[in-house]
A and B are shown apart, each in its own frame.
Chain A
Amino acid sequence: MDQSDKDTVVRIDALQKWYGAFHVLKDISLTVPRGARIVICGPSGSGKSSLIRCVNGLEAYQQGTIDLEGVRLGENAAQTTLARRKTGMVFQSFNLFPHLTVLANCTLALRRVSGMARGEADELASQYLEKVRIPEQAHKYPGQLSGGQQQRVAIARALCMNPRLMLFDEPTSALDPEMIKEVLDVITGLAKDGMTMLCVTHEMGFAREVADEVVFMDHGSIVEKAPPDQFFSQPCHPRAREFLNTLLH
């Protein structure tokens, strides 16, 4: 492994994916350096979610390769599991476990995957709940929390596994407007701590503030990749311009 590999968290190379006859991802190549904060945007159906779901093996792909810190995804089940443990994922619909308390949601993988003792796991989880600013909700069930609180628990749950890369799949799309900020604030805090992240979002203000690169996708391809200042002020591609215009109006 040379120096450039050590600084790379994810390397996606010539990725191709089909749903039956539908070509969802067309020759995607993307390198995510350590500490990078990449925002993926684009119209619905452009393949953004499929792309980040490929990165932790939730979706299969047909051609190309994905390497997570040198571990190749999809070669066999053990490799995929190993790679998965390097990533944390936050879903649009939270996907908290409704039958477990907030604390148990956070400690489940610590205890069952990392084999941590209960006391230690509880302590670690409490630290992360503190970080997402809801330590007082630890013993409630997800159904008793607001959407914004649930999504912050989901972030804490993912952080507990000490991921090298955080994947966010439209983390605020299912939230009421007044709750979006509390979740974005937490993600912004993570970015400031140096967490590497890939984030699919329509929150362009957030992208402008947090991202160091914006990737614009359309019809399964990456059509533009630029720093946010450049992307928002003078997008090169006509389809990117069109997309930004629809967001403004």
Chain B
Amino acid sequence: MTTLDIWLGILQGCRVTASVTLYALLFAVPFGLAFGIAQYLTTGLLRFLVTCVIEFWRSSAVIILLFVFYYALPVVGVTLSAMTVAAMVLGLNTGGYASQAVRAGLQTLDHGQKEAGQALGLSRTAILVLIELPQALLVMSPTFINLLIQLIKATSLVSLITLTDMTFRAKEISQVHYEPVPIYLSLLLAYFVLCYPITLFGRWVAQRVTPGREVRRGV
């Protein structure tokens, strides 16, 4: 089997890898935003409940959640497609991490920003949407890019719940042609090729965001 054959074989799984990533983002982005903001704004019991939900998704092992939702839920009558389970579990796990970045970004803003908004008579929602979030999300954008890279790599786990992603294809090929070394090396490279441009983009963003903060503070 030539290297080209191996590559073409792995490439057949690329669409599933990309789909899982994109669908997972549909869970991760709203969850991260909503729960990060909720944790920032709430206090007392409500904050405790918000934190519980975040911690559940953040602190559980992804692979176990995949198994539980895919293999165990049908026992109690809930059947979800493999793609749904993959997108939800990976998305909410990433969203759990993202929520912490959102909350931290909001908390590290200078308190004077909120006060200036209040002094101008803006509502709490307007202060959040127009003043706090744009700044917090910008500062946290390198973190979000890191999380995206982790998400792409984590999609390799969906091969364990029957989805034919790049990793699943590599396993298939390696079972037919027993050549694990070139096949898995190619797989490794395939993920690298997907993720490295995003790493470079992240570095570019980080450079733009970090010195800018000093300039913006008038230092």
Contacts and interface: CB of A to CB of B under 8 A. Distances in A.
B131 interface: yes
A84 interface: yes
Contact of A161 (B121, B138, B215): B121
A92 B113 CA distance: 12
B116 A95 contact: yes
A112 B126 contact: yes
B113 to A, nearest CB: 6
Contacts of B12: none
A56 B119 contact: yes
Contacts of A95: 110, 112-113, 115-116
Interface string B32-64: 000000000000000000000000000000000
Contacts of B217: 98, 143
Contacts of A158: 119-120
B77 interface: no
B160 interface: no
A145 B215 CA distance: 9
Contacts of B134: 99
A126 interface: no
B118 A84 contact: yes
Contacts, number: 70
B138 A84 contact: no
A150 interface: yes
A147 interface: yes
B119 A141 contact: no
Contacts of A141: 216
A74 interface: no
A95 to B, nearest CB: 4
Contacts of A202: none
A157 B120 contact: yes
A142 B216 contact: yes
A91 B116 contact: yes
B121 A99 contact: no
B68 interface: no
Contacts of B112: 91, 93, 95
Contact of B121 (A84, A143, A146, A150): A84
Which residue among A93, A98, A145 has the maximum number of chain B CB atoms within 10 Å of its CB?
Answer: A98
Interface residues of A, number: 31
Contacts of B113: 95, 97
A226 to B, nearest CB: 29
A131 B96 CA distance: 49
A150 B116 contact: no
A193 to B, nearest CB: 21
A144 B126 contact: no
A108 interface: yes
Contacts of A87: 119
Listed residue (B110, B119, B130, B216) with the most chain A CB atoms within 10 angstroms of its CB: B119
Contacts of A144: 215
Contact of B119 (A89, A97, A99): A89
Interface in B120-136: 120-123, 126, 130-131, 134-135
A146 B218 CA distance: 7
A155 to B, nearest CB: 12
Contacts of B122: 108-109, 112-113
A108 B215 contact: no
Contacts of A116: none
Contacts of A84: 118-119, 121
B210 to A, nearest CB: 13
B121 A142 contact: no
A210 B71 CA distance: 78
Contacts of A56: 118-119
Contact of B131 (A58, A89, A97): A97
21 contacts: A56-B118, A56-B119, A58-B118, A84-B121, A88-B119, A91-B115, A91-B116, A93-B112, A95-B113, A95-B115, A97-B116, A98-B217, A99-B134, A99-B216, A112-B122, A112-B130, A113-B120, A113-B122, A141-B216, A147-B218, A161-B120
Given A88-B119, A95-B116, 16 more contacts: A58-B118, A58-B119, A91-B112, A96-B116, A97-B135, A99-B134, A109-B122, A113-B126, A142-B216, A143-B212, A143-B215, A143-B216, A143-B217, A157-B120, A158-B120, A161-B120
- The 4 closest A-B CB pairs, nearest first, are A143-B216, A95-B116, A95-B112, A98-B216
